[in-house]
Amino acid sequence: MAGSLEVQVLEARELEEVLARSVEDGLMEDSAWREDVPTPQEPGVYVWAASGLVVYVGKAGSLADRLGYEQRLRDGYEPAGDRWEVSVVHMLRVYRAKPMWARARDPEAALEVERRLIEWHRACVGIAPLAIGWDTKPGSPREQAETMARELWNLDPAARPSTAGERFRRIADPAEPDGTRWVLGEAHSEGT
């Protein structure tokens, strides 16, 4: 039976110490997260944060291309409990995560700083950010394991943990741009 577990995650701003150190080491151009638009075509690192809390850490050869792609995936995704969920896209959408970014010297520097950010998160709270891995490499052991999990999920609902597949539903939220937000579970009154 699946259960829930409370975990801690860092606020995105708490990762800026790593950015500042990486500027000193000649790896980064920016020592603080940026949210302005347009996102540059330059290489860099980024976080997706929900209410300022880190959900995902990534790197990109082109911040504009990568974040544009990920935003399109997130915006086009509709949570549903009956089918396989793409974990990163699912979490970004459900938690209404927003991107923040910082420019790196080059793609190799972005890779090094991404590792630093993940390890700093792990050092501070004991775990890596909640969502990991965007793409799996074709033919990799991870792709094989993901394929098995997807097949098991889709073919054998009885094999799912009892809490898996709880439906996400929309509720009214005037604070959101579209006037709604996603919540998990059965209908209930707010505050219970």
Q: pLDDT, tens digit, for every residue of 9-63?
A: 999 999 999 999 999 999 999 999 999 888 999 999 999 999 999 999 999 999 9
Residues contacting residue 59 through CB under 8 Å, at least 6 positions apart: 43, 44, 45, 46, 104, 107, 110, 111, 113, 114
Q: Which two tokens stand for residue 41?
A: 């075509």
Rounded to an integer, what distance in angstroms lies between the CA atom of residue 77 and that of residue 85?
Answer: 10
- Regarding the domain with residue range 12-136, which homologous superfamily does it belong to in the CATH classification? GIY-YIG endonuclease (3.40.1440.10)
**Considering just the CA atoms, what is the radius of gyration of the chain in Å?**
18
Taking the model in full, what pTM does it have? 0.75
pLDDT in tens, 99-109: 999 999 999 99
